[in-house]
A = this chain, B = another copy of it.
Amino acid sequence: MADYEIFGLGDVVLQSRATIRGAKLAFKTFGNLSPNKDNLIVYPTWYSGQHYDNEWLIGDGMALDPAKYFIVIPNMLGNGLSSSPSNTPPPYDKARFPNVTACDNVRLQHRLMTEHFGVTKIKLVTGWSMGGLQTFHWGALYPDMVERILPFCGSAKCSRHNFVFLEGVKAALTADDAWQNGWYDKPPTKGLRAMARVYAGWGFSQAFYREELDLKELGYSSLEDFLVAFWEGFFLPKDPNNLLTMLWTWQHGDISDNELYQGDFDKALGAIKAKAIVMPGQTDLYFPPEDSEYEVSKMPNAELRPMPSIWGHFAGGPGLNPSDVEFLDKALKELLAS
């Protein structure tokens, strides 16, 4: 029994003009939609994550409280549950799965919210990392519909440095001959492990490693144990084509790269009417606070509130550090109450 539902999208034409035929959006809901349909929260997934990787932020007494809100977690295209290289039939399967943008993702999510749930207002959109990217897209693509956004450890556009970091991740994964340009029968495990080791230096901050929080807080027995058990263990089970699809989505994320804003990034930021708290991690190595600062300066109704944490990008998820979760939850409560 799957713990999630599937919304059939039919034939979907993407920004690239490729078509995913019989496209699927997998989602999970928490709580109930109110009679006047005004309590919906959208909470998109992050790079390689699936809906269950988001659940740590939902609970009784938390900001995302299912007793009050109807919380929908849509799975990103490429994450293995929504339409992905790993679950799409030929001829668009595996290495032929088309490039998907964050804009594509959010437009399909919008169809779920309007066609399936019939809402006209969204109380809040929030998400971590690529979930933050989708959150910004919600604000820019549907400014009259989205009342509040709280993107955390994410950005409205992939920065050039972030792009380069991802080039390294991709190069490590695809250096393995077993990758075979995506036509592998057996997964390129050497490449997946290499990718994991590359990611390890980026995910947490210098101070995190200096303070040995991998050992003292996360309980690993050594640095090497952390690299193998946490990092390699994280990426090894994942499908490489799925990972590369989402990586492309990330690298090409830009709220203005569509016919509405024609590449005018400042205009797209300025169009976000939602009341916003933009929350970078103070020590995030690939979404540095300076990028968020710029975004907030161009948004009419936004506050910059960095997470004072040495957990790097992982200050934002997935719920590893209780004091970071508390900081985030408090801001979400404040925003929802406003």
Contact = CB atoms under 8 A, between A and B. Distances in A.
Contact of A209 (B164, B174, B196): B164
Interface stretch (A30-38, A127-135, A197-205, A313-321): A197-205
Contacts of A64: none
Interface in A206-239: 206-210, 212, 223, 227
Give the number of copies in the complex: 2
Given A167-B197, A227-B167, A190 B175 contact: yes
A172 B290 CA distance: 29
A197 B77 CA distance: 26
Contacts of A210: 159-161, 290-291
Could you say which interface size class chain A belongs to? 35 or more
A176 interface: yes
A288 B172 contact: no
A172 to B, nearest CB: 4
B290 A207 contact: yes
Contacts of A209: 159-161, 164
A163 B196 CA distance: 14
Contacts of A205: 161
Interface of A: 159-161, 163-165, 167-172, 174-178, 190-191, 193-194, 196-202, 204-210, 212, 223, 227, 285-286, 288, 290-291
